[in-house]
Structure 1
Amino acid sequence: MNRWTRHRRTTSLLIGTVLTAMTLSACGGGTKDDSGPQRVSEKEIQAALDKPTELTVWSWSGSLPDVAKAFEKKYPKIKVNVQNVGTSAEQYTKLQNAIKAGKGAPDLATVEYNAIPQYALSGALVDLKRFGFGSLKEQFTPATWEAVNVRDGLYELPLNAGPMALFYNKKTFDKFDIEVPTTWDDYLEAGRKLKKADPEYFISADNGNAGLTESLIWSAGGRPFQVDGEKVDINLQDVGTKKYAETYQKLLDAKVLSPTAGWSNEWFQGLATGKIATLTSGAWMAGILKGSVAKAAGDWRVAPLPSYGSESTTSINGGGSLAMTEQSSKKLAAAAFLRYVSLEEGADITQASGSFPARAKVLESLKFLGTKDEYFGGQEINRIFADSLAEVGGGWQYLPYDVYAITIFNDQVGKAYTGEKTLEEGLKDWEKQLIKYGKDQGFTVN
Structure 2
Amino acid sequence: MGHRTTRRLLGALLAVSAAGLSATACGSAAHDGDGPTGPEDVKSALEKGGKVTVWAWEPTLKKVAADFEKKYPDVDVELVDAGTGDKQYTALQNAIAAGDGAPDVAQIEYYALGQFAIGKTVEDLSPYGALTHAKSFTSGPWHAVHQDEGIFALPLDSGPMALFYNKKVFDKHGVKVPTTWDEYVKAARALHRADPRIFITNDTGDAGATTSLIWQAGGRPYHSRGTDVSIDFGDEGTKKYTATWQRLLDEKLVAPISSWSDAWYKGLADGSIATLSIGAWMPANLTSGVPSASGDWRVAPLPQWTKGDTTSAENGGSSLAVPKAAKNKELAYAFTEFATTGTGATGRVTEGAFPATRADLESKAFLDKPFPYFGGQQANRIFAESARNVSEDWTYLPFQVHANSIFHDTAGEAYASRSGLADGLDAWKDACAAYGNDQGFTVNR
TM-score (normalizing by structure 2): 0.90
1:11 match: none
Distance 2:346 2:360 in 1: 10
2:257 match: 260
Distance 1:96 1:195 in 2: 46
1:158 match: 155
Q: In the TM superposition, what whole-angstrom CA distance separates every residue of 1:225-257 from its partner, at most 9, and x where no partner exists?
A: 111232211101211111111110111111121
Quick check: 2:28–2:226 contact (8 Å CA) kept in 1? no
Distance 1:362 1:61 in 2: 18
Quick check: 1:19–1:151 contact (8 Å CA) kept in 2? no
Return the match for 2:56 from 56, 59, 72. Answer: 59
Distance 2:313 2:193 in 1: 31
Larger displacement relative to structure 2 (367-376 or 60-69)? 367-376
- Counterparts of 1:36-435 in structure 2, within 5 Å, are 39-42=37-40, 44-310=41-307, 311-435=309-433
Distance 1:366 1:249 in 2: 41
Amino acid at match of 2:311: T
Residues 417/28 of structure 1: CA separation in 2 closer, same or farther (3 Å cut): farther
Quick check: 2:25–2:228 contact (8 Å CA) kept in 1? no
Report the alpha carbon displacement of residue 46 of structure 1 after superposing the two structures with TM. 2.9
Quick check: 1:28–1:130 contact (8 Å CA) kept in 2? no
Amino acid at match of 1:266: A
Amino acid at match of 1:96: Q
Larger displacement relative to structure 2 (427-436 or 70-79)? 70-79
Larger displacement relative to structure 2 (402-411 or 153-162)? 153-162
SS in 1 for 2:48: coil
Residues 356/27 of structure 1: CA separation in 2 closer, same or farther (3 Å cut): farther
SS in 2 for 1:126: coil
SS in 1 for 2:157: coil
Larger displacement relative to structure 2 (352-361 or 106-115)? 352-361
Distance 1:100 1:237 in 2: 37
Larger displacement relative to structure 2 (373-382 or 423-432)? 373-382
Distance 2:365 2:34 in 1: 39
Amino acid at match of 1:379: Q
Percentage of matched positions with identical amino acids:
47
1:14 match: none
SS in 1 for 2:408: helix
Quick check: 2:99–2:325 contact (8 Å CA) kept in 1? yes
2:435 match: 437
Return the match for 2:29 from 16, 20, 24. Answer: 24
SS in 2 for 1:95: helix
Report the alpha carbon displacement of residue 368 of structure 1 after superposing the two structures with TM. 2.4
Distance 1:307 1:23 in 2: 36
Distance 1:256 1:337 in 2: 47
Gaps of 5+ in 1: 1-17, 31-37
Report the alpha carbon displacement of residue 314 of structure 1 after superposing the two structures with TM. 1.4
Report the alpha carbon displacement of residue 289 of structure 1 after superposing the two structures with TM. 1.2
Residues 27/386 of structure 1: CA separation in 2 closer, same or farther (3 Å cut): farther
Distance 1:158 1:134 in 2: 13
Report the alpha carbon displacement of residue 330 of structure 1 after superposing the two structures with TM. 1.0
Larger displacement relative to structure 2 (323-332 or 294-303)? 294-303
Quick check: 1:27–1:124 contact (8 Å CA) kept in 2? no
SS in 1 for 2:352: coil
